[in-house]
Amino acid sequence: MNSETKTCQNCKSEFTIEPDDFSFYEKIKVQPPTWCPECRYIRRLLDRNEYNFCKRKCDATGKSIISIYRSDAPFPVYNQEYWKSDAWDPTQYGRDFDFSRPFFEQYEELRRAVPHLAMVNSNSVNSEYTNQAQNNKDCYMLVTSDRCEKCMYGSWCEKSFLCSDCYMTEKSEFCYECINVAKCSGCAWCYDCSDCIGVYLSSNCRGCSNCFGCVGLRNKQYHWFNENLGKEEYEKRLQTSHLNRGFLQEAREKFSRLRLSIPVKFYHGMQTQSSSGDYIENTQRARSAFNCRDNKDTAYMQDAWQQNEDCRDCTEIIVGQLSYETQGVDSPHRTIVARSCFNTITDSCYCDMCFGTSNCFGCFGLKKGSYCILNKQYSKEEYVELKKKIIEHMEKTGEWGQYFPPEVSPFTYNESMAQDYFPLSKAEALAKGYSWRDREKQEYQVTIPASKLSETIAETNDSILNETIGCISQESPGEKENRPLCVGAFRIVPLELEIYRKLQIPLPQKCFPCRRTDRFTLRNPRRLWKRGCQCRGKADDSQLTTDDKGASRYANTTAHFHGGEPCPNEFETSYAPDRPEIVYCESCYNSEIA
C-alpha cells in the first residue's frame, strides 16, 4: 500500500497517511482519519484543562471545593472522596441506545447527567491545588506530577523537592524556572541539563557545578559563559553581580547570543531508532512523537511514557497497546477513543472518566465495570451483539473512529491545553469556531506594581507576603493585548519566598499564567519540518561567518565523516527553517558537542 495525501476537513491543509498508518487502521477496523494530525491533537487538547482551577460547590455535599469545572458547567460535579465512594452508582444513569439518532448526541446527554470528578490529585497530602497528580506533599499549583514535595507552579515534575516554575524536572531539588532537567540541585533558568549543581542560566550542560551562562559543557565547574575562571574569580563575579534584575537582563541577552553560536542536535533525546519528533527516548519506529519514552511502532503521540506499542494519536498516557485517539488515559489496551480514564481500560470504546473498565462502550463515570453500553449493564452475549450494531450505525453516520466533537468540550479554547501548545488570540480562536471565555473581573486591589519590586532578593523582607503585586504584563498596552491568560495580579506564598532566598534570585514580575506562557515558548513547537544538516565540513576558518545580527557562527573543531563537503544528512526537526539556530544531524553534533 502506498502513502496517500489527503485534505484536512478542518483546516483544509494537506496531510499524508503512510502505509503503516493504513495497516494500523485496518487492524483496529476504523476508517482513515479525515483531520490532519495537528488538528486531531488540538481536538484532544480541547478536552484537557490542567491548571485553570475554580472554587465552586460540590453538588453532592454542598461543600466548597476546588475544581477544573466552573460553577456554570452543564453537569453535576462531586469532590473526589464522594465521587469515588459507594454513595452513588453510575449505572443508575444507564439508558438504551436509540438507532434513530447519532451516537455523539446520545453520549453527550449521558455525559451531562452523570456527576464529574472535580479534579484528580490522589494520595496527596496538603496539596489541594494540584491536578492530574498523585503522591505529592505540601505542593501548590502543581499539575501532571508525581512524588514531589514542596513544589509549586510546575508541570511534569517527578520525585522533586522544593522546585518552582519548572517543566519536566526529575529527581531534582531547589530549582527555579528549569525545563527538562534531571538530578539537578540549586539551579535556576537551566534548560536540558542533568547532574548539575549550582548552575544558572545554562543549557545542555551535564555533570557541571558552579557555572553561569554556559552552553554545551560536560563535567565543568567555575565557568562563566563557557570561560573557565577558576573558583576565586567565579565567586567574585557572582557576588559582585548580586543577581539583580539589570544584570540578569544583560546576562540573558549574552546567553542567547552564545546559544545561537553553538550547534544544536536536530532533536532532543537519545536511544532512538527510525523515529521522529522531539524529546524522545528509547523509541523504535515512533513517528511524530513528542515528549515520549519507550514507544515502539507508534505515530502522532504526545506525552506517552512507558511501554507504548502499536498506538496512534494518544495524548498523556503511560502504558498503552493497540489504542487510538485517547487523551489522559493511564493504561489503554485495545481501546478506541477515550478520555480522562484511570487505571487500566481494556477493549473499550468511547469512554470517559472511567476507572478500571473492560469491554465498555459509550460509558461515563464507571468505577469498575464490564459489558456496559451508555452505562447500562448487559450480559456478554448481549453486549457483543449490540456493540456490533452500534458500530455499524456509527459507520453510516460517519462517527466511528472520530474523537469527541470539539464543540462539546467542557472547556473553552483558552481554558484548555490547546492554548499552551497552539496559542491563539481571542479573535483567532473565534474565527476558527472555538469558544472563548474572558476572565471575570477580580475584586482585588494591587498594592505594589511589579516595576516597583526590589532589584535583589536581599532587599526583600517578609512584608512582601502581604502585598498584592500587579503583573508587569498589565503595565504595557501591547503586552497586555498579547497576554490573554494573564490574571492581572499575584501574591508571593511563603514556600515560594523560601526558594528565591535560597537561590538568591529576585522576585518574579509576572503572574503564574504569564510565567507559564513564557516557559512554553522556550520549548520548540510540537511540529516538524524537513531540513538538512547545516554542518559545512572540515574544521577551518571558512566556517567562521557572521549572521545578520553580527553574531559569530560556529567553526567545527574536528573532522566529520563527510570531510570538507557539506553534510548530506536530512531529517525532520522541530526547528523551523527560519529559526536562527545552527542545526546539526546527530553524527555531526556528536562529533562537536556530545
Average pLDDT over residues 460-469: 97
pLDDT score recorded for residue 442:
77
Instruction: Tell me the three cell numbers of residue 95.
Output: 439508558
User: What number is the average pLDDT over the span 128-151?
Assistant: 96
% of the chain residues with pLDDT over 90: 91
> Can you say whether the dihedral through the CA atoms of 118, 122, 124, 130 is positive or negative?
negative
The three-point CA angle 53-59-61 to 5° equals: 105
Which pTM value belongs to this model? Answer: 0.94
Checking if the pLDDT of 394 tops 90, the result is yes
pLDDT in tens, 311-327: 999 999 999 999 999 99
Q: Compute the C-alpha angle 490/495/496, nearest 5°.
A: 45
Answer yes or no: is pLDDT of 276 > 60. Answer: yes
Q: Please, which residues have CB within 8 angstroms of residue 32's CB and are 6 or more apart in sequence?
A: 4, 6, 17, 21, 22, 25
Tell me: the pLDDT tens digits for 485-499? 999 999 999 999 999
Cell of 410: 467542557
pLDDT at 549: 43
Rounded CA separation 268/505 (Å):
28
Q: Which distant-in-sequence residues (6+ apart) come within 8 Å of 142 by Cβ?
A: 127, 129, 130, 133, 136, 148, 151, 152, 153, 154, 155, 157
How far from 212 is each of 40, 258, 515, CA to CA, in Å?
Answer: 41, 12, 22
Predicted pLDDT of residue 195: 98
Q: Greater confidence, 541 or 4? A: 4
Asked whether the predicted pLDDT for residue 516 surpasses 80, the reply is yes
Q: Is 70 exceeded by the pLDDT of residue 387?
A: yes
Mind listing the pLDDT tens digit for each residue in 308-365? 999 999 999 999 999 999 999 999 999 999 999 989 999 999 999 999 999 999 999 9
pLDDT at 476: 85
Q: How confident is the model at residue 546 (pLDDT cuts 50, 70, 90)?
A: very low
What pLDDT was estimated at residue 551?
43
Please compute the mean of the pLDDT values over residues 33-38 and round it to a whole number: 98
The answer to whether 457 and 501 are in contact (CB under 8 A) is yes
pLDDT at 451 > cutoff 60: yes
DSSP state of 129: T
Q: How many helices (H) and strands (E) does the chain have?
A: 13, 40
Q: What's the residue count for the chain?
A: 594
pLDDT of residue 539: 56
